Structures are given as C-alpha cells and as structure tokens.
C-alpha cells in the first residue's frame, strides 16, 4: 500500500520549481494557477529569494500548486492513501478528489493571505523542539505560555505563541532537547490564527466538494475523512488547531502502508517517515529526475484506489479542560454504543466521555492522570462493521 504526501510551509527553497518547467504543460498550468492565486507562482518558484517565498501569502499557494503539477506527471490511480502537512492538506484534498486543483490553489491563496494578516495582530513566533522527554517537552511549552502547533513524531514538536515565550523556550529548553527558533511570521495553528479561521469559514459554504475517492488522512487526529463537507470543515478548523502529523503516521502504520512518495518541495515528510515508519520505502520527488523512481514505487506497492480498505479509526475527544481518568478498558476491547471510556475531572466535577457507536478501542492517546484540553483526542476507536 502506498501513500502520497504533501509538505507544508517551510519545505520551500529558492528555485525549487525551476527543473519542473521543462516538463510538458507545467508552465501553462502554473500560469493558470497563478491567475487564481493572485501572484506569479513561476517567478516565485524559480527566481524568488528565500525572503520572498517565506511570505505566507505567497508560500501557501506556491506549495499547493507545485505539488499538484508534479502529481499530474504520476499515475496515482493505484495510490491508496493521501495526506498533507498543514497547507499540504489542501494538496491532499485535491489528490483525493474532494477539491479541484483550481479550488485547492484558490483556497491556499485565501488561507495564506488571511494567516499573514492574522500574524500582524500580535507579536508571535514559533520554535522547533527536537528530542527530550515528550511529556516534559509539552509541559515546558505550556509553562512558557505556548502551544504545540505541530506534533510531528520522531521527537519533533513545534511550539508557537508569544515571541517572549519562544525566546524563553530557546534560552531554557527542556532537558535533553534542542530548540531552534523558526523564521516565521507568527504563531500558526494556534488561537492567534482565529481571525483567519473566521475568514475562511465565511468562504467554506461556497466551496463545491466531492467525497474522497481515496483515503484522506486529517491533521486533526490522523483519521480518514469520510465526506467532502467534513473535509472542508476540518481544513478551516485546522488553522487554529495542532497539526497531529504523528497521528497521521500512526494511521499509515496501522493501515500497513509499505511505501510513500513526497511531492515537491520534498524531503521533510520523507525524513520523518524514515525515522517513524521503519521499513517503509520512500521517494522524495524533488525534481523530474525522481519521477522514474516514484513511478516504480507505485508499480511495486500500489493497489486499487477507491475507498477500500476503509480506514474506520475515529477518535473520542475531551469535552472540557481537566485531568483524564480512563475506564478499565484495554486496547483491543469492545466498547458498546453509549458506554463510558473515561472521565475528565474538572473543578466543576467529572465529565463522562462515551463512545457514540459500537467500536473496538484501537489505541489510548492519553494516559491516566494526563491533563487534557477541550477537543483533545483521547482514544482512537475502530467502529464495528455497519457503523457509520
């Protein structure tokens, strides 16, 4: 089984689009997508400086367009799983058949503009935390008034929030961790992007969608999205929510993905896959010279697309902020519809968390006594046959 991956902001490098212009119709496609994006994607992807292509309003449509024009030179009929990191979710949604390429690039441009504008409303920034004890890393991030914007797996968490908090994190990192300040405009995937989420929500009802024709994994919790309408809602909400790439990779592992191709500008996600998905064969599609290897990988690992095998992993989430106390249920146990899986203990009293459908507990995502936030995934459930 093969997965097609689309990178997010930060993967771009100056001139990365240049070799792709030698392929048939790429320049014409990019000119058309530039008209929709409101910026010259060819110029930005070939001669744009590092500073110019760091502009969120430019970067986001550039990445989505680059991934889509490269994918047009692959036969993805036998690709089963698609997933994108952050704005790469728009690329993945188009590859899954939920959005047209034109809609994906148009939404990426709007998303980029609105997120860039939101960055100007507060002095915020981001930093990558590499290594350290996962629980200690998250606790330290929170203690500095920051949020985990990306949980990427392989010992990598990106913290975001007020710039002063990021400076403290860099100066006083968690034990055995290294912290790198990122050159970004603001705190993406946090509450500081609320204005951008609101603006995108106003556009969402006007977007025409179809249901996925292949498995489309969501950054929210790593689960597959079942419908086009659900996809667009999640894409909007993800602007202020943590990117759970670690859970996307966990689902790929659960599904038995054996190979992955990362679309340009490639390297980031395949690097994570090499560390997190041991034994999975990967290809970084950086230039057209890598197309032959990517096609070979699809030929050896691909299977019929469609919606089977169905990813039926779903999650139960916390209804409030508090401390989680699980019921005596082990991974692999059946859970009847309406049965409690745990409680969130708050100052106002306990809040029961129940399964809304008969399922099997696939994986606990938190442990007894863990602090949880409203909407935080608590457990992954596998609905029993016939459950929608």
**Mind listing the pLDDT tens digit for each residue in 204-243?**
999 999 999 899 999 998 888 888 998 999 999 999 999 9
**CA–CA separation, 84 and 249 (whole Å):** 11
pLDDT, residue 313, reads 61
In-domain check, residue 309: no
In-domain check, residue 173: yes
CATH of the domain at 202: 3.40.366.10
Task: Give the DSSP H/E element, type plus range, for residue 212.
Answer: none
Mean pLDDT of the chain: 91
Task: Give the Å distances, CA to CA, from 32 to 40, 69, 217.
Answer: 10, 11, 28
Identify whether residues 67 and 103 lie together within a single domain.
Answer: yes
- Of 1-5, 67-71, 166-170, 379-383, least confident by mean pLDDT is 379-383
- Tens of pLDDT, residue by residue over 181-194, are 998 889 999 999 99
Query: Would you place residue 358 in the very low, low, confident or very high pLDDT band (cuts 50, 70, 90)?
Result: confident
CATH of the domain at 375: 2.40.50.100
In-domain check, residue 208: yes
Residue 140 predicted with pLDDT over 60: yes
In-domain check, residue 308: no
SS3 at position 343: strand
SS3 at position 12: coil
Task: Considering the candidates 34, 85, 86, 301, report the single residue annotated as catalytic.
Answer: 86
In-domain check, residue 306: no
Identify whether residues 215 and 167 lie together within a single domain.
Answer: no
Domains held by the chain: number: 3
Question: Can you point out the beta strands (E) in 74-212?
Answer: 81-84, 124-131, 147-153, 156-162, 177-182
Identify whether residues 110 and 24 lie together within a single domain.
Answer: yes
Identify whether residues 13 and 106 lie together within a single domain.
Answer: yes
Query: Would you place residue 304 in the very low, low, confident or very high pLDDT band (cuts 50, 70, 90)?
Result: low
In-domain check, residue 149: yes
pLDDT, residue 3, reads 97
- Tens of pLDDT, residue by residue over 265-283, are 999 999 999 999 999 999 9
SS3 at position 184: coil
Identify whether residues 201 and 177 lie together within a single domain.
Answer: no
Query: Would you place residue 305 in the very low, low, confident or very high pLDDT band (cuts 50, 70, 90)?
Result: very low
**CA–CA separation, 171 and 283 (whole Å):** 37
In-domain check, residue 325: yes
Given 255, 276, 301, which residue is the final one in a domain?
301
Identify whether residues 295 and 329 lie together within a single domain.
Answer: no
In-domain check, residue 139: yes
**Catalytic-residue membership of 86:** yes
pLDDT, residue 152, reads 95
Identify whether residues 240 and 95 lie together within a single domain.
Answer: yes
Residue 387 predicted with pLDDT over 50: no
CATH of the domain at 166: 3.30.70.250
Identify whether residues 159 and 294 lie together within a single domain.
Answer: no
Q: In what order do the strands lie in the sheet with 177-182?
A: 147-153, 156-162, 124-131, 177-182
Identify whether residues 112 and 131 lie together within a single domain.
Answer: no
**pTM tops 0.75, yes or no:** yes
Identify whether residues 169 and 272 lie together within a single domain.
Answer: no
Show the domain range for 368.
314-383
Given 274, 301, 328, which residue is the final one in a domain?
301
Identify whether residues 139 and 172 lie together within a single domain.
Answer: yes
Query: Would you place residue 385 in the very low, low, confident or very high pLDDT band (cuts 50, 70, 90)?
Result: low
Task: Considering the candidates 189, 301, 312, 318, report the single residue annotated as catalytic.
Answer: 189
Q: State yes or no: cis peptide before 238, omega within 30 of 0.
A: no
**Percentage with pLDDT > 90 across the chain:** 77
**CA–CA separation, 172 and 163 (whole Å):** 14
Report the pLDDT averaged over residues 367-380. Answer: 83
**Catalytic-residue membership of 351:** no
CA within 13 Å, CB half, 387: 18
Identify whether residues 342 and 247 lie together within a single domain.
Answer: no
Q: Cα 115–120–121 angle (5° rounding)?
A: 100
């Amino acid at each position: 089984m093969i997965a097609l991956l689309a990178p997010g902001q930060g993967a771009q490098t100056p001139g990365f689009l240049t070799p792709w212009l030698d392929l048939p119709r790429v320049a014409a496609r990019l000119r058309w997508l530039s008209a929709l994006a409101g910026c010259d994607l060819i110029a930005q992807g070939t001669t744009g400086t590092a500073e110019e292509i760091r502009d969120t309003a430019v970067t986001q449509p550039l990445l989505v367009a680059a991934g889509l024009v490269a994918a047009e030179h692959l036969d993805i009929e036998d690709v089963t799983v698609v997933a994108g990191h952050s704005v790469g979710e728009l690329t993945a949604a188009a590859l899954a058949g939920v959005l047209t390429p034109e809609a994906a690039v148009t939404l990426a441009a709007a998303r980029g503009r609105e997120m860039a504008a939101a960055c100007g409303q507060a002095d915020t920034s981001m930093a990558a935390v590499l290594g350290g004890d996962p629980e200690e890393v998250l606790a330290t991030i929170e203690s500095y008034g920051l949020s985990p914007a990306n949980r990427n797996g392989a010992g990598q968490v990106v913290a975001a929030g007020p710039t002063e908090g990021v400076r403290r994190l860099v100066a006083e990192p968690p034990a055995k961790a290294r912290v790198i300040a990122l050159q970004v405009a603001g705190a993406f995937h946090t509450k500081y992007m609320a204005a951008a989420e609101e603006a995108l929500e106003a556009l969402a009802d006007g977007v025409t969608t179809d249901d996925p024709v292949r498995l489309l994994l969501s950054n929210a919790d790593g689960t597959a999205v079942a419908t086009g309408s659900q996809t667009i809602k999640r894409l909007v909400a993800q602007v202020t929510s943590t990117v759970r790439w670690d859970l996307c990779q966990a689902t790929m592992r659960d599904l038995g993905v054996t190979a992955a191709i990362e679309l340009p500008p490639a390297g980031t996600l395949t690097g994570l896959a090499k560390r997190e998905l041991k034994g999975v064969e990967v290809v970084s599609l950086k230039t057209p010279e890598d197309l032959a290897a990517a096609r070979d990988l699809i030929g050896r690992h691909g299977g019929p697309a469609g919606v089977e095998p169905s990813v039926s992993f779903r999650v139960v989430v916390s209804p409030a902020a508090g401390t989680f106390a699980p019921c005596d249920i082990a991974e692999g146990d059946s859970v009847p519809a309406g049965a409690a899986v745990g409680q969130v203990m708050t100052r106002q009293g306990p809040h029961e968390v129940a399964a809304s459908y008969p399922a099997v507990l696939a994986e606990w995502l938190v442990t007894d006594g863990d602090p949880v936030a409203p909407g935080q995934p608590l457990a992954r459930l596998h609905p029993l046959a016939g459950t929608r």
